[in-house]
Every structure is written in C-alpha cells, then in structure tokens.
Amino acid sequence: MKLFQAYLHLLLFLSLTTTSIAIPKYAKPECTDRCGSVTIPYPFGIGERCSVNPWYTIDCKNNATPYLSKLNNLEVLGVNLSNLTVIVNIPRVSYCQKPVWNISEIMGVHLDGSPFLFSKLNNKFVFEGCGNAIMVMDNGSVLTGCSTTCRSDTLSNGNHCFGIGCCQTTIPDRFKSYSINLTDLEMQGENGDCGSAALVDKTSYDEGRVSVRNSSSIPVSLVWTLTSKDFDHITCCHNRTEIKRKVVHFNGTALDTWTCYQRSVADNPYLIDGCEEYDCRNCTNRGGYCNYDYIYDVDGSLFSLDFSCVGEKTKQSKRTMSLGVILGNVICLCF
C-alpha cells in the first residue's frame, strides 16, 4: 500500500512539472500581442519598441483596429508566420459615370521601398462587371487581365466567376506595384454600377467574406521579408539557425530574405522563447545541444526539419528512461 501511495505522489509531481512548461510567446517582453481581435506576433509589434523595424510597427487605434503606420496606414486583418504574409485592406477600383466607357481608368497601388510584396500564391485578380480589366506594371507591361460578357439580368457570384459578369485569374509572380486599367465598361443594374476590379486574398474571396463589387476595401496578402540587418534584433527560438531564401520579383531581380523555421502553427519562431518544443527542451535539460538538419525540396524551398540531440548526458538519459518504466507501472496498477 505504501509503495502504491509513493507511486501516486510521483505521478502527481510529474503532472505538476509537466504543466509548468512555458507557453509560447508572440510578442517581445513587455509588449502587447493583440489589437482588438487580431494577434500581432513579432517581428511585427504594437509600437516601435516592439517591432523589428519601423515598417513592421503597428498602430493600434482605440485598442481595437491595427494599422501599418508606415505603409499608408493600411488596416491589418491578420499576420501569418507560416507563409510569411500579412493581410491588409486596400481600396477597390470602381467606376461608372455614364452607360458605356471607352476610355481607361487607372488606380495604382505601390509597395516600393518597403519590405513587402504582393503574394503570388495567396492572391488572385477578380473583375466583377461588364467590360475588360487589366493589371499593368509601371512601365506598361501587362501582368494579367480578364474580360466578361453580360446580359441585362447578369449578377456576379464568386462561386460562378467564369466570364459572365465576373472573371478571375491568377497573377504571374510577386511584385511591388501595379495599376488596374478598366475599359469598355457597361452600366448594369438599377444602381448603375458597372465594374469593380481588385487583387484579392484567395481565401477571403473563395469563402464569400468579401465582394469585389460591394466592399469599399479589399483584403490583400502581402509577403513580408527580413534582411540580415533585421536579424541583428532576432534570435530564432531555441537558437535555431536562420534560413536564407531568395524571393524572385516579376522583373527577374532577386531579394535575399531571412526566416526562422516554424515547426508548429502555435509557435513564434522569431522569439528565442517563442516555441513550445518538448524535444529540444528535454535535450537541453539533459545537458545536450539541439541540432536541426534542414531538408529542401527540389525547387529549393524548405521541406522539413530533422531534430537530433547532440552531447546529451547518457547517465541522465537512463534515469529518464527508468522514470518512464515506473510511470508505466503506476498506470498499470491504477487500472
């Protein structure tokens, strides 16, 4: 009986020590990681002291709505550490002042000088209306475009956007600026609306959370990049080695960017204590060193990461293994 009670005390002790493991952090010490309902993870931060550089500084207005203060005060809808994107709201293009347009109307969006690019994988180009919509570069070269045909009773529907009153297409690559050119627009419907075009976040549009025609602003995914200078202020969690990647622009130029590998969506790998990783924590507790081998896909992108514990103390490892046997006996006795 005394032995059984000792086992129960041991089990209680182990459960208490297990639950004391630190929860991953998202913001720097003494910084807030939320603005309203939006999580703001480092390298972004609310206030200049909390971000990696001024481009990543968030202004949390009325403690409710986050804005990128240096990027035209664009509203931030979310930050994704896995695919290195930030979703922002950008004004849409909509024109109609007479029944038929035979001239072009242009609205430009520019990220020049910033560490952001428009994401190729997470955006698409959508035109709702009657006419033609084209995305062009500053030098006049065409990025992409699409055309629609219309009937008097045509209504656009994001789930049936295949050329009748609505068209959509992919974008060719990452880029920093573009203009939208709308031509041959025809007025349609009782309100006289005749056309709206936008680069839009795929998920938001496909899930019906935004209408290119009716929304005043459109969610767009931007890729964010970090330089080697930025990494003077960043230590990847558990001292992992940062990863150097090349981001190729539409014009063929390449930009070096640095990232920290994120093993779990719950982690913030850009903070030294931002990852809840039991393997590495147990390794260092046993006097070992966490080693990571990076495995790359055929296109050069990071595919996976292999972990190994180097230099752990054998004697202490055996003690941990024997503890597992005792715990196993406790479980058997309890049942």
Instruction: Write out pLDDT tens, residues 52-83.
Output: 999 999 999 999 999 999 998 999 999 999 88
Residues 202-246: tens digit of each pLDDT: 999 999 888 887 888 899 999 999 999 999 999 998 777 888 888
Tell me the average pLDDT across 172-184: 82
First CA to last CA distance, the chain: 15
Comparison of pLDDT for 174 and 103, the residue scoring more: 174
Structural domain includes residue 152: yes
Backbone phi and psi for residue 178, each to the nearest 5 degrees, phi listed first: -160, 165
pTM: 0.73
Does residue 125 sit in the same domain as residue 219?
yes
Structural domain includes residue 64: no
Domain that holds residue 284: 277-335
**Distance (Å) of CA 38 to CA 34, 86, 142, 230, 241:** 6, 11, 35, 24, 29
Structural domain includes residue 32: no
Does residue 89 sit in the same domain as residue 190?
yes
Does residue 89 sit in the same domain as residue 219?
yes
Residues 25-57: tens digit of each pLDDT: 899 999 999 999 999 999 999 999 999 999 999
Residue that terminates a domain, selected from 224, 251, 268: 224
Does residue 217 sit in the same domain as residue 94?
yes
Does residue 186 sit in the same domain as residue 114?
yes
> Is pLDDT at 263 greater than 70 in this prediction?
yes
The string of DSSP letters for 167-205 reads EEE---SBBSEEEEEEES-B--STT---EEEEEEEHHHH
Structural domain includes residue 201: yes
Structural domain includes residue 281: yes
Residue that terminates a domain, selected from 191, 224, 257: 224
CATH number of the structural domain spanning residue 124: 2.60.120
Structural domain includes residue 90: yes
**What's the number of domains the chain is made of?**
2
Structural domain includes residue 180: yes
Give the pLDDT band (50/70/90) at residue 296: low
Upstream peptide bond of 43 is cis (omega within 30 degrees of 0)? yes
Tell me the average pLDDT across 276-300: 66
Does residue 182 sit in the same domain as residue 294?
no
Residue that terminates a domain, selected from 224, 252, 287: 224
Tell me the average pLDDT across 82-106: 64
Structural domain includes residue 61: no
Comparison of pLDDT for 83 and 151, the residue scoring more: 83
Tell me the average pLDDT across 301-326: 50
